[in-house]
Structure 1
Amino acid sequence: MSDAGFPKGALLTNLREVGRKCSYLRMPWDFWVIFFALGVLLPWRGRARMKKLLAMPHVSLMERLVLYASTVAFQWLAVALVGWRLWARGYTAQQLGITFRDRTTLLIAGIVGAAVIATLQWLNLRRVSRIPPESRGPLQAIAERILPQSAVEMPPYFALAITAGLCEEFLYRGFAMAAFAQVGMSAWLAVLVSSILFGLAHSYQGRGGIVMTFVVGLALGASRLAYNSVVPAIFWHSAIDIVAGVAGRRYLKQSATLQAVFLGSR
């Protein structure tokens, strides 16, 4: 595997070295099963659940809380199963990017990056709030059903957002990139393919959601290479989801108010 054209500082040394030494190995059967689940079953499950939610005229508070709890449980179960197979295959924490060698650097990168990303996410959602609800496409309907709409829902939603940051980064930037490197894939190609899988996992958000999540995945994957750790990506990912819940609640309330005024004037 050649490193020509890649900046040395941005390469994940562990992934590069493993790729060189193990390019002759074939993907284990259980990893193929996991990738089938990530690339096919998970997107299908997400679309099926969203189709069911969109068919409902209204999603109650309790139904959203159940949705949050079931998603948290599902993600931790997925991490447990994947972690079990990684342990059985002899993968190390370093290969998976679960490292804390330079804690100060990782924390600064995680916190500063999360603050920047959270600000951009907030500004983007504020921009969306200025668009008439009927012109937002599926975004409005999806947001109304899965984002918190009351203070009671915020703590469970925060738990979900942090869970997504931890579990999805372990699956896509930890497991996937390490598994791809193990069969000789270059570091940046591993970022690309894992980002495609990450985008497909969010296909319930529509084409726009797939593209945006893919782009976010590229940034998260690049951080994995730059810091040789998934820690900054966990901070960044969690920040995106947390802001979506907080800012989303604000513009959803605005939409609900406008709708009430419209109905009251009829």
Structure 2
Amino acid sequence: MNGESYDNSGAHREHRIETVDKKTLLFEVSVFLSLIVPSMVLSFFAVRQGALTFTVTAWATMLRDLALVGLIAYFLRRNGEPTCRLGWTFTNARTEVGIGLALFIPFFVGMGVLENSLRAAGFSMPSTPLPTYLRPESLPQSVLATLLVAVVAIAEETIFRGYLILRFKGLGASSAGAVALSAFIFSLGHGYEGSAGVITVGAAGLIFGMIYLWRRSLVGPVVLHFLLDFIGIVLAPMLRP
């Protein structure tokens, strides 16, 4: 993407990404990863019981993700980079939404087949049901869960696809390498799902990244991410007996 330029609607305009030296980018990425990776790794040791509730967890998650997006916005502003560098362009928003919707069913089925195959091959799954602080148990909590899913889809795609892929490429990684690195880091936050879940999430991250590079837009990946989480976090608990 180096050398590309956009205006606020996606048309061409000069940007300053190439004036940001690698030392600055390395510092940015180091600070950013130091903030997110430790807490994500702790997901492998998630506490199954305790005083946490879904409401507390939902608000804490949304505030954390919004704070990280705020940090990204600060970095972009400091460097003079437009937000369209991350893939937030809306000139073809309807097309991008349509692509996300059209890809969802094969994506969802494929992720299900992969996870079931991994479990059949002996990869671990959660030894106990998800704790109550990870699932809504009332109508108000389901409404909150929908808001959570929307915030997380937008924030995480901004973080893992838009920002990290851009920065990894700026530090010299190939497009494939940047997508793989961002997908790996993305998967670290799902240790509570067992190794089968972590690998499946990593594969989803790879697909999100490939769509992002293909379309140069975060809209499609956000749609896929939202629908996937909406089914797992909002609909699935409603359908449980």
TM-score bin (small chain): 0.7 to 0.9
Compute the displacement of 1:224 (Å): 0.4
State the Cα distance separating 1:216 from its structure 2 match.
0.4
CA distance in structure 2 between the aligned counterparts of 1:111 and 1:83, rounded to whole angstroms: 28
Where does 1:1-266 land on structure 2 (aligned, <5 Å)? Answer: 14=1, 25-26=22-23, 27-39=25-37, 41-47=38-44, 50-51=46-47, 54-56=48-50, 63-114=53-104, 116-117=106-107, 137-138=125-126, 140-142=128-130, 144-250=132-238, 253-254=240-241
Rounded Cα–Cα distance in structure 2 between residues aligned with 1:147 and 1:139: 16
Structure showing greater relative contact order (alpha-carbon pairs closer than 8 Å, 6 or more residues apart): 1
When residues 94 and 232 of structure 1 are mapped into structure 2, their CA distance, relative to the original with a 3 A threshold, is same
**Contact residue 125 and residue 197 of structure 2 kept, 8 A:** no
| Inter-partner Cα distance in structure 2 for 1:208 and 1:247 | 21
CA drift of 1:190 comes to 0.7
Runs of 4+ in 1 over 4 A off after TM superposition: 15-18, 21-24, 115-121
- What letter is aligned with 2:129? A
Q: For 1:137 and 1:195, how far apart are their aligned partners in 2?
A: 20
Q: How many residues align structurally?
A: 222
| Contact 1:98-1:231 at 8 Å conserved across structures | yes
Q: CA deviation at 1:120?
A: 6.5
Contact 1:16 1:181 in 2 (8 A): no
Structure 1 residues not aligned, in runs of 5+: 1-13, 128-135, 255-266
Which structure has greater helix proportion? 1
Unaligned runs of 5+ in 2: 6-17, 117-123
Report the identity percentage. Answer: 20
RMSD: 3.1
Question: Given the two structures, how large is their TM-score scaled by the length of structure 2?
Answer: 0.79
| Amino acid paired to 2:34 | F
